Amino acid sequence: MKTRILLADDEQTFRLTFTKVLHEEGFDVDDFDNGLDAIDAIKKNAYDIAILDIQMPGADGIKVLKEIVKVSPNTRVIMITAYGTVEMAVEAIKFGASEYVMKPVIFDDVLLKIKQQARYRRLQEENIQLKSDLGSIFSIDQIIGDSPAMARVFETIYKVANTKSNILITGESGTGKEMVAHAIHSLSEGFPGRFVAVNCSAIPEGLIESELFGHKKGSFTSAVEDKKGLFEAAQEGTLFLDEIGYMPLSCQVKLLRAVEERRITPVGSTESIPIELRIVAATNKILLNEISTGHFREDLYYRLNVVGVHLPPLRERREDIPKLVEHFVAKYNSQMGKNCASVSERAMNVLMNYEWKGNIRELQNVIERAIIFAEDETVNVSDIGLVSVSSDSIDSQERGLQDALRCFEKEYILRVLKKHKGDKALAAGDLGIGVSTLYRKISELEMNSDIERLGAS
């Protein structure tokens, strides 16, 4: 995104040449020869930087500055001051200007200042974005659901957040286990440190110990320097052990010892380190079954499952579906800049009765795709591409459904590509997805030969 600048100065030669310089430097510039027009423009557009002469007809620079502070507080303001108005420029800093420059203006000096301010604005924007991302992903009010089952989940989350107990979250895939783990962490005032997540099923068995506990240089061939483990990274915070059911037995012993003694020993070290953190573990396996088959240690299970949070599958809390649908429709609608804010009654019926083996993650994906395909303000049955499944013969129907969905998606993408004569950037824009997503879909759906045919025709 280009930095957007407003320049207000009644001295025509300066204004026109400087506007040209700024254009050449790659900025977007709107220029005005009086304060009143500048104020109008500020109300209509979002400027990153405003450069204001102090003496101007209509409204002087100070008046414009005050207006900016009121309507667009993130805009950075640079005042231009002539001999005789320096004191006013200093005053302007008190009102909220960031800088002032003296007339006659030396282009290189002021360009440098503009670049600094532009950089500041970018960082500020990124920060705002980061904060809102963090806030929205991790806060408990992003967890949707007011079924009795979810009410119990919320109650447990609030209760346990104030304790130091370890927690075991159980539930099928896609039921929101990781989301709940984050929410517990963000509500836990007793653990102000970091939230560190480890997926136990993703680390090779031989490396788990060193990942968790760290290692000393030379303790094994690839250990070329000391390395801190995830336990240490999560000191005073939360260590989230995801997919704990996949942790190898050899590592379970060491984990048990760490939990019991509240100390860890890095691989190859002779000294142990005290640890102070909360462990939140999650699993979609039924651990009691794993215990009975000898794949999970019973003693570790009881150490981790001091408090249990169970997330019921979506099909057991269908009353949550409408709110979830509404939430995801709003989310993807605004993300894709579409104008599709409601769901037809028939479509909602299908969503209410579907099996949802992949739980909320699956629902989220279905809505995302529906919003991509939706052509007017309402999501219709054809947009969601699901058929209600009865509980018998689900497996074969599921396969049939998957095939149907693939086919549907393929046809649709082809249609849009055809419309844009194979131009992928235009097609992606039309589909409301990124170009890289389109490329991924083309390869996932094995569409390359179809596209070649498209080019030949």
Instruction: Summarize as ranges the residues that interact with Mg ion (CB under 5 A).
Output: 177-178
318 binds ligand ATP (CB under 6 A): no
Q: What 8-state DSSP symbol labels residue 440?
A: H
CA distance 147 to 133: 27
Q: What 8-state DSSP symbol labels residue 109?
A: H
Backbone angles phi, psi at 169, to 5 degrees: -100, 125
Contact by Cβ (8 Å): 79, 97: yes
Residue 92 vs 169, nearer CB to Mg ion: 169
Residue 39 vs 181, nearer CB to ligand ATP: 181
Calculate the CA dihedral of residues 81, 87, 93, 98 and round it to 10 degrees.
30
Minimal distance, residue 178 CB to Mg ion, in Å: 4
Q: Which strand (E) or helix (H) includes residue 279?
A: strand 278-283
245 binds ligand ATP (CB under 6 A): no
Backbone angles phi, psi at 220, to 5 degrees: -150, 170
Determine the angle formed by the axes of helices 86-95 and 61-71, rounding to 10 degrees.
10
Q: Which of 3, 117, 238, 364 binds ligand ATP (CB under 6 A)?
A: 364
Q: How far is CA 311 from the centre of its chain?
A: 23
284 binds ligand ATP (CB under 6 A): yes
Residue 213 vs 328, nearer CB to ligand ATP: 328
312 binds ligand ATP (CB under 6 A): no
Minimal distance, residue 286 CB to Mg ion, in Å: 16
Minimal distance, residue 388 CB to ligand ATP, in Å: 22
Report long-range pairs for 147-154 (Cβ below 8 Å, ≥24 apart): 147/317, 147/319, 147/320, 149/312, 149/316, 149/317, 150/317, 150/320, 153/180, 153/309, 153/310, 153/311
147 binds ligand ATP (CB under 6 A): no
Choose the one of ligand ATP, Mg ion, none that binds residue 86, judging by a C-beta under 5 to 8 angstroms depending on kind: none
Can you give the three-state secondary structure of 369-422, one letter per residue?
HHHHHCCCCEECHHHHCCCCCCCCCHHHHHHHHHHHHHHHHHHHHHHHHHHCCC
177 binds ligand ATP (CB under 6 A): yes
Q: Which of 35, 174, 237, 312 binds ligand ATP (CB under 6 A)?
A: 174
Minimal distance, residue 310 CB to Mg ion, in Å: 15
Minimal distance, residue 433 CB to Mg ion, in Å: 24
Q: Which of 10, 28, 178, 430 binds ligand ATP (CB under 6 A)?
A: 178
Q: Which of 145, 229, 313, 432 binds ligand ATP (CB under 6 A)?
A: 145
Minimal distance, residue 376 CB to Mg ion, in Å: 35
Minimal distance, residue 163 CB to ligand ATP, in Å: 22
366 binds ligand ATP (CB under 6 A): no
Q: Which of 3, 67, 78, 171 binds ligand ATP (CB under 6 A)?
A: 171
Choose the one of Mg ion, ligand ATP, none that binds residue 382, judging by a C-beta under 5 to 8 angstroms depending on kind: none
Q: What 8-state DSSP symbol labels residue 3?
A: P
